């Protein structure tokens, strides 16, 4: 039986808030930040490759802000009817509300992104993928790729 998106999200949240995950991110280009501020592409790429999920870019603008041009702010994976990032699984409407409240970014759109598009950004590059996948899997026993 495959893991459900909420269960995978709980495992991701537990792992990304653990000492083990901080040891992993310290060895990446995102070492000065965290999984949500610099390490999002690293985490999303690991979840995509390890669990067969698709990466999505979160495009938005700061609110309130002078420039309303949507820019790539975050990278997540789609699972079920929502998204998973370092904060776990959230349905799209909840994710949009929380992102505005926590990051002060109004989301204009969320769309699939691939590595070639992300290579054009200044986001830290994926690394330590095997350690991330193993860390998330070990957090939830019997973790298998989620049903799409």
Give the distance, in angstroms, between the CA of residue 95 and the centroid of all CA atoms in the same chain.
12
Can you tell me the distance from the alpha carbon of 52 to that of 77, in angstroms, rounded to the nearest whole number?
A: 10
Question: Mean per-residue pLDDT for 89-101?
Answer: 95
Can you tell me the distance from the alpha carbon of 120 to that of 42, in angstroms, rounded to the nearest whole number?
A: 15
CB atoms within 10 A of CB 61: 18
Range with the poorest average pLDDT among 25-29, 49-53, 73-77:
25-29
Alpha-carbon distances of 98 from 17, 103, 126, rounded to whole Å: 18, 8, 25
Token code pair at residue 127: 């690394």
Give the distance, in angstroms, between the CA of residue 76 and the centroid of all CA atoms in the same chain.
4
Range with the poorest average pLDDT among 48-57, 72-81, 118-127:
118-127
Q: Single out the residue of 50, 10, 55 nearest to residue 145, CA to CA.
A: 50
| pLDDT of amino acid 37 | 82
Provide the sign of the torsion angle of the four alpha carbons 129, 35, 12, 57, taken in this order.
negative
Q: Residue 84: what are its φ and ψ, rounded to 5°?
A: -120, 130
Q: How confident is the model at residue 31 (pLDDT cuts 50, 70, 90)?
A: confident
Question: Mean per-residue pLDDT for 4-17?
Answer: 95
Token code pair at residue 107: 């989301």
**What pTM does this model have?**
0.86
| pLDDT of amino acid 1 | 29
């Amino acid at each position: 039986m495959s893991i459900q998106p909420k269960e995978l999200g709980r495992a991701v949240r537990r792992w990304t808030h653990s000492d083990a995950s901080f040891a992993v991110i310290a060895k990446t280009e995102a070492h000065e930040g965290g999984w949500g501020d610099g390490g999002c592409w690293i985490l999303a790429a690991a979840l995509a490759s390890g669990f067969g999920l698709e990466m999505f870019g979160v495009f938005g603008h700061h609110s309130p802000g002078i420039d309303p041009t949507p820019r790539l702010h975050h990278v997540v994976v789609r699972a079920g009817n929502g998204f998973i990032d370092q904060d776990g699984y959230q349905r799209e409407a909840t994710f949009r509300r929380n992102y505005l409240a926590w990051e002060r970014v109004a989301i204009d759109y969320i769309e699939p992104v691939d590595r070639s598009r992300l290579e054009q950004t200044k986001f830290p590059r994926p690394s330590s993928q095997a350690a991330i996948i193993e860390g998330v899997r070990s957090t939830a026993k019997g973790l298998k790729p989620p049903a799409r």
